[in-house]
Amino acid sequence: MVKYLFSNKTKVLFFVLAAIITLAGCASSKFEKNNTAIEPSTTSKEKSTVTKNKDIIIAMVPKSLDNPVFLDALEQGEAIGRTLGIKIEWLGSMQSDSNEQVAIVESLIQRGVDGIAISCIDPEKMKPIINKAVKAGIKVATFDSDSPHSDRLFYCGTNNYAAGEACGKALIKVLKAKGKDKQLQRLLVMTADKESNNLNERLSGFLDTARKGGITLNIIDTLYCKDDVNIAGDMLEMYIRTGEKLDVFFSTGGWPFVSPSESMTGFHAWCQNGGTSILIDTYYPVLEAAQQGMADALVGQNLKKMGELSIRNLYSVIKDGKIPSKFIDTGLELGDKSNYTQLLQEKQRWEIK
């Protein structure tokens, strides 16, 4: 709306003024650092020594460092950053922790980075700090997981509700094929946490579509893996072995299949015995597990595209003031038993160990 209120000349004038103010801010910051960095100090006024040089810096803040899913976004973002001649940072806590995520964004505001792309763990908790960053003149966007009520410029990622819808449609199809579409289906859900907006949208899309399609679902339990790929597989296997009997397993992410498939014999057997398993994500380990019979359908996100488009659009805003649309859709990738092999061939094996 705003861009239509001003002429191109006015916009250029604003840009020049903004640049002057920004440079003045940088000079002031350097002066402070020069005065305080050398000697020991314990005052909170001291500024960090982390650089704020002439290069444009865009910081990407994932939910956690230990989730390899985000590595695609990091690598693609860095690659694009190099082509654009800017510096890309990747900052997050090792495990998903909304408080630490807030602290990290706070530090970025203090350092005065040029742009921030965040995958929000808790959209409501992140809203104030995003708004603060925006007020500080930092260009803020979200990727993967949005904070829709904040002042962020745009969200770059999957249409999570659509991804859920795709999963719901896949369920209907699978159950019809198995002749179980008229039966009550006991559903086990796995997600990262209660707060993540993207995951909640996926779950809503899935449940809405399935129910609209005439599937009767009874959610018997929900497992929260906190975005931790190391515990997600164990949680699922443990539930299959000791929990209530279930008919359908739905996961809003591919966490459980990052664990070696050999460690999930119970789940594998459950799938072989007619259990229906549908997950979101189509990265390599998930596709490998699906090919071994542990998933009836997969709906994938494009993390590389998220990294790429987040950086490109933020750079564009920083450099030219061009504000993209509020939502940049990175599309979906659908998989089922018919195309798992093909999809695997298109992707590279993870070599992180």
Partner 1 sequence: MKSKVFSGLFKKFSIYSIRSKMTICFLALGIIPIIIFGLISYHLYFQNLHKNVTIYSGQVIERVDKNLETYISDIENILQLKSNYYFQQYLKLNEAGDIEGNRKYTVRIWETFDILKQMKTDLVNIRLVSHSGSIISNYGRYWIDVSKDPLYSQLVNNKTDVVSIQPPHLNFLNQKVFSIGEVVTGNAIGGQGIMAIDIDVNFLNKICSDIKLGETGFVFLEKNGKVVFSPQSSDKQEYSNEIIQNPKLMNSENGNFIDKINKTNYIITFKTSAITGWKIIGVSPETEMASEISMIGWVFFWLITSIIIIVLLLTIYITSVLTNPIRKLRSLMKHASENDLSIYADIRTRDEIGQLASSFNKMMNQIRDLMAKVKDDQQKIREMEMKAMQELIKPHFVYNTLDSIIGLLEQNRNDDAINLIDSLGKFFRTSLSHGREVVLIREEINHIRSYLMIQQFRFSNKFDFLFEIDDEIYNFKTLKLILQPLVENSIYHGVRNLNKKGLIVINGYLKDDQVVFEISDNGEGIEDEKVDLLNRIMAGDEKVEDQNLYFGIRNVNERIKLNFGSCYGMKYQSKISVGTKVVLNIPQVR
Q: Which is nearer to partner 1, 117 or 187 (CB)?
A: 117
Q: Which residues pair with 327 in a beta bridge?
A: 155
Q: Which is nearer to partner 1, 176 or 350 (CB)?
A: 350
Name the minimum Å distance from CB 131 to partner 1: 19
3-state secondary structure (DSSP) of residue 312:
helix
Strand order in the sheet with 57-61: 57-61, 115-118, 139-143, 155-157, 327-329
Residues in the chain: 353
Cβ(290)–Cβ(261) below 8 Å: no
Q: Which is nearer to partner 1, 51 or 216 (CB)?
A: 51
Q: Which is nearer to partner 1, 87 or 132 (CB)?
A: 87
Q: Which is nearer to partner 1, 53 or 242 (CB)?
A: 53
Name the minimum Å distance from CB 341 to partner 1: 23
Q: Which is nearer to partner 1, 24 or 37 (CB)?
A: 37
User: H or E segment at 109?
Assistant: helix 98-111
Q: Which residues pair with 186 in a beta bridge?
A: 218
Specify burial of residue 219 (Cβ count, 10 A radius: 0-12, 13-18, 19+): middle
User: H or E segment at 101?
Assistant: helix 98-111
Q: Which is nearer to partner 1, 77 or 205 (CB)?
A: 77
Q: Which positions ≥6 away from 267 have C-beta within 8 Å? A: 236, 237, 240, 249, 256, 277, 294
Specify burial of residue 267 (Cβ count, 10 A radius: 0-12, 13-18, 19+): buried
- Following DSSP, what letter does each residue of 188-232 receive, concatenated? EEEES-SS-HHHHHHHHHHHHHHHHTT-EEEEEEEEE-TT-HHHH
Interface contacts to partner 1, rule CB under 8 A: 33-34, 37-42, 44, 46-53, 55, 57, 59, 65-66, 68, 71, 75, 78-79, 82, 87, 89-94, 103-104, 106-107, 110-111, 351-353
Name the minimum Å distance from CB 53 to partner 1: 6
Name the minimum Å distance from CB 165 to partner 1: 32
Name the minimum Å distance from CB 290 to partner 1: 22
User: H or E segment at 133?
Assistant: helix 123-135
Q: Which is nearer to partner 1, 46 or 208 (CB)?
A: 46
* C-alpha to C-alpha distance for 276 and 188, rounded to whole angstroms: 10
User: H or E segment at 71?
Assistant: helix 71-84
Shortest CA distance to 213 belongs to which of 246, 252, 244, 248? 248
Q: Which residues pair with 184 in a beta bridge?
A: 216
Name the minimum Å distance from CB 113 to partner 1: 9
Name the minimum Å distance from CB 117 to partner 1: 13
Q: Which is nearer to partner 1, 37 or 177 (CB)?
A: 37
* C-alpha to C-alpha distance for 278 and 165, rounded to whole angstroms: 12
Name the minimum Å distance from CB 71 to partner 1: 6
Name the minimum Å distance from CB 308 to partner 1: 13
